[in-house]
Amino acid sequence: MSNLVSVEWLNSHLNDENLIILDATIPKVTSKAEITKLEVIPNAIFFDIINKFSDVLAPFPNTIPSQVQFQESAQELGVNNNSKIVVYDALGIYSSPRVFWLFKTFGFENVFVLNGGLPEWKKQGYKTVLEYAKTSSKGDFTAKYQYYKNVLIDSICEILENNSFSIIDARSSARFNCEIPEPRKKLRSGTIPNSVNLPYQMVLDNGLLKPKKELKSIFSKLINNQNLVFSCGSGVTASILYLAALEADYTNTSIYDGSWTEYGTLIK
């Protein structure tokens, strides 16, 4: 079963009873361009990754929140245990897979990414509105933290010595190969030892996730085992590769949430 839904499917199911549409748009850390005009898919609710669904007191950006914080914030959006969630972003497929991973990590399975996001929705001529929908009532969602989907720095150090794991870095090849500086100030350039590079753009085609057959070919040429840990700058674009790996039928997948921002800061 795919973890994606098409814009055609969403357009025909906009008013389904248990459907919750989440807009998870955040700006790219590598781009100074800002999204100035608010255009949203009808019935969409804003999913605030940075302020509501990250640990704002953590030393590193986008750090996964506690189980309690995630549960309470998701309930505030009206998420119930029987909801069906479709998440998208205004950049195509960029930050929406991060939300997909968060829900999976907190035990919610009925979550999907809108393939192509808002750009594909608009390309097909579907209606947009100028404001988010309001949550009608608090949900009853119960979070259950799946620790094995979130790799911590101590585990990364152990994984480096384990040949049955592959660490795959979603940053650009220029950043991975230290040809350009990191976009975050004072963060050194570098890579996690023994990691391999798969820039997240390589699994996308015009804003859409590539078909399963192509994804399988990409991963099979890069690694030769089933235990995959994804990294990037701060855990956002690693989620794109996490989604792509699931579509390619890999099951033992996780994300190093601290990614290079944490590793490059703490490990010298």
Q: Which residues are catalytic?
A: 232
The per-residue b/e assignment along 133-150, b for 16 or more CB within 10 angstroms, e otherwise, is beeeeebebebebeeebb
- Helix/strand/coil (H/E/C) assignment for every residue in the chain: CCCEECHHHHHHCCCCCCEEEEECCCCCCCCCCCCCCCCECCCEEECCCCCCCCCCCCCCCCCCCCHHHHHHHHHHCCCCCCCEEEEEECCECCCHHHHHHHHHHCCCCCEEEECCHHHHHHHCCCCCECCCCCCCCCCCCCCCCCHHHEECHHHHHHHCCCCCEEEEECCCHHHHCCCCCCCCCCCCCCCCCCCEECCHHHHEECCEECCHHHHHHHHHHHCCCCEEEEECCCCCCHHHHHHHHHHCCCCEEEEECCHHHHHHHHCC
Query: Which residues, 6 or more positions from 2, have their beta carbon under 8 angstroms from its beta carbon?
Result: 112, 247
Q: What is the CA radius of gyration of the chain?
A: 18
Structure tokens at 243: 């989604």
